[in-house]
Amino acid sequence: MSAAPFRTGPAFAREADAADPLRAYRDAFLIPAREDGTPVHYFCGNSLGLQPRGAREALEQELAVWRDLAVLGHHRGDTPWYRYHELLRAPLGRLVGAGEHEVVCMNSLTVNLHLLMVSFYRPEGRRARILVEDPVFPSDMYAVRTQIRWHGLDPSDALLQLAPRPGEGHLRTEDVEAVLEREGDTIALVLLGGVNFLTGQRYDLERITRAAHAAGARVGFDLAHAAGNVPLRLHDWGVDFAVWCSYKYLNAGPGAVAGAYVHESHARDRSLPRLGGWWGNDPETRFRMQLEPEFVPVPSADGWQLSNPSILGMAPLRASLDLFDRAGMDALRTKSIRLTGYLEYLLGELAPGRMEILTPADPEARGCQLSVRLREGARETVGILADRGFVCDFREPDVLRVAPAPLYNTFTDVRALAGVLAGEEPLR
């Protein structure tokens, strides 16, 4: 793609799309259509990614195995179910910057968060607090507060929520570091989002991890809005654990199996407290059942599994991860920066003063999501967008979350959206 400055006219969008080296990946997805048969402009990958065309084939393959082999499918066929989750390790590890033994697909995000907090939130004496950001995704907050109460503590004492400075919309990394230096001996766990769900701010996970460890705290991240959106180097950064869902940027479908990461220093530590289940023990002895009464966890992230995972929930994720592997996260990030920057530019040029962008202007401090505060007529604007075939995400009372995902969104999509928000007729 050209590095030339952006232009406001629709011709620029067509030129940028023609020069896009990733343009073919759009055809790998099924895009919903309007009543007239034309595709919608889909900007909601931060909530639910589009369906990869390969998802149906991946599902039908396993349905055929179920039909033809039934229970024997656990050990026969091209992809035996008994070790099916292992097929996802390598691509998932590449995506989040981890070793294959450090990642596992299992459960849903909040379930994984609870399971890992059992191991990594171990309040003792003065060191009993959990540090989170403000705003924090509600499910994370519910999980944190209930974990605190589970330990017999009061969230009003044990929960530390760090908000941006007065008059500012973003949390400064230096403020996280400062509170860890000042109050670190009271903090047992730092738990932040990788990308904030509301503002779209991308946190500096490497610096935060370093500061947390210097203060003697463990650190974990909710990567629901980061996995598949921004580059990650979890192992190199020394992150203790992380969790994420796979139905947003990872395009695995509604309620799809989630993921978890545990740094190898912990993953190989069988003495670490955890909850046990039969899929977290040695696969070579798993079916000895009553002959193995003691739970001995696998020395990897697999050791946090409880039950056999959903094959039909993992199959679409295989299809999506294949696309990420082929496109490459570096190339996707390059396009993402340019695509989101183009949206920011157009909103400033075509609709000055009509809205406020809440997401940081620094491309390194955000992913592909722009959160836009509509200054007036928010609900009316959302209705107009829907009527004209734009699928975005609205958060009360006035925030429009727009996510131009580089795997399937185009510069023409972005130009059309900006035109509607500026009061122009949408492009066809």
- The pLDDT score that the predictor gives to residue 288 is 76
Domain range annotation of the chain? 10-30+328-421, 59-325
Structure confidence by residue, pLDDT tens digits, 224-252: 999 999 999 999 999 999 999 999 999 99
Question: Is 127 strand, coil or helix?
Answer: strand
- The pLDDT score that the predictor gives to residue 425 is 60
CA-to-CA separations, 81 to 108, 149, 321, in angstroms, rounded: 19, 38, 18
Q: Does the pLDDT of residue 427 top 50, yes or no?
A: no
Q: What's this model's pTM, rounded to 2 decimal places?
A: 0.95
Contacts by 293-301, CB closer than 8 A, 24 or more apart: 296/270, 297/270, 299/101, 299/267, 299/268, 299/269, 299/270, 300/101, 300/102, 300/104, 300/267, 300/268, 301/101, 301/102, 301/103, 301/104, 301/260, 301/261, 301/262, 301/267
Structure confidence by residue, pLDDT tens digits, 318-368: 999 999 999 999 999 999 999 999 999 999 999 888 889 999 999 999 999
- The pLDDT score that the predictor gives to residue 61 is 97
Percent helix, strand and coil across the chain, each rounded to 5?
A: 45, 15, 40
CATH number of 59-325: 3.40.640.10
Where does residue 116 rank: exposed (0-12), middle (13-18), buried (19+ CB within 10 A)? buried
CATH number of 10-30+328-421: 3.90.1150.10
Lowest-confidence range among 1-5, 7-11, 312-316?
1-5
Cα separation, 50 vs 251, whole angstroms: 6
Cα separation, 95 vs 120, whole angstroms: 23
Neighbour count for residue 41 (Cβ, 10 Å): 25
Question: Is 311 strand, coil or helix?
Answer: helix
Which sign, positive or negative, has the C-alpha torsion 300, 303, 304, 306?
Answer: positive
Structure tokens at 227: 């996995």
Q: Does the pLDDT of residue 169 top 50, yes or no?
A: yes
CA-to-CA separations, 42 to 34, 263, 393, 416, in angstroms, rounded: 11, 35, 10, 11
Cα separation, 57 vs 54, whole angstroms: 5
CA-to-CA separations, 29 to 23, 176, 251, in angstroms, rounded: 12, 39, 9
Cα separation, 390 vs 387, whole angstroms: 7
Neighbour count for residue 65 (Cβ, 10 Å): 20
Where does residue 264 rank: exposed (0-12), middle (13-18), buried (19+ CB within 10 A)? middle
**Which residue shows structure tokens 């928010």?**
378
Q: Does the pLDDT of residue 183 top 70, yes or no?
A: yes
Structure confidence by residue, pLDDT tens digits, 415-424: 999 999 988 7
Beta bridge partners of 29: 52
Using pLDDT thresholds of 50, 70 and 90, give the confidence band for residue 173.
very high
